[in-house]
Chain A
Amino acid sequence: MAKPRVALDVEIPSDVRYIEQVVELAARQCRELHLPARKCSLNLPVALTEALSNAILRGNAISNGKHVRVRALVSDDALVFDVLDEGPDFDIMAERIDPTTPDNVMREEGRGLFLMHMLMDRVEHIRSRGNVIRLTLLRE
């Protein structure tokens, strides 16, 4: 089995206008690695956008001087994205709601974590100096 290699490593300011460029870079990697088309056009772009917007808006609270780093590791069986912010700890499970229930479907917010979990094969929250959201997309 080959050693995982870094496929992407970028740092952006806490500004949502940078999200689309990073997501496009990530989607390009996804396509070049020949992951299924749907994973590169839907699963990865949406889940990574959610993780980045959480990191910028909530983790870093759009703070000048704070950055978000995105690192992608590719292995034989998966593409793994780490999204790192500089914000305080949070409980990813406590914040997750089911937006599909009749009570919630009309809500304007609350679909971000749900979509990440639905579209990724694995979502993990790791606490280090900030928060790391690890998104795993299996190759098959």
Chain B
Amino acid sequence: MNSPRVLPTDRELSDPEVVARILSGDVEAFGIVIRRYESGLLRYATRMLGHPDAAADAVAEGLVRAYRHLASCRDPARLKSWLYRIVGNRCRSHLARRSASDISLEDAPPLPDPSDTEAAAERAEQLALVQRALETISPEKREAFVLKHVEGLSYEEMAEATGERIPTLKMRVHRARAALLEALKEEP
């Protein structure tokens, strides 16, 4: 008896396979890209912008833009870095607009959910403290620290995501660590 034909799951499809499906007209396959990278991109944008609504806007705009320009992703095996680059650009645009309208980064610090347990509330408080410290350092250093130590990108992936050279990024990460450590000392 023949074995039943096993259809590929999301996890079995490589990024280039998913990209090929989308480019061949399978719009729904873009859902795989979203499921695969949405959480990390939202976290990255939230750390960069400090405001969950602005982060959601940046990621949604970035993902729609990625879909529209998917054909220009020259190396689908590096889709992840490409998506971080697009969302990073959206974050920079949001920061530039925010700077122009002089709105504080601290207008909406993350708040613990009332239904959280004590431990979760403590984690939320710790996150708020570190996020405040993170927002005092420059966007370039913030981006370097988050990509390296929160998103776990390699320096090669960071270079693809930012367009910067690896030695520049290493120096920026080193300075970001020092700046963040200093900022954490000044937090109450």
Q: Do A and B come from one complex?
A: no
Chain A residues proximal to chain B, CB less than 8 Å: none
Chain B residues proximal to chain A, CB less than 8 Å: none
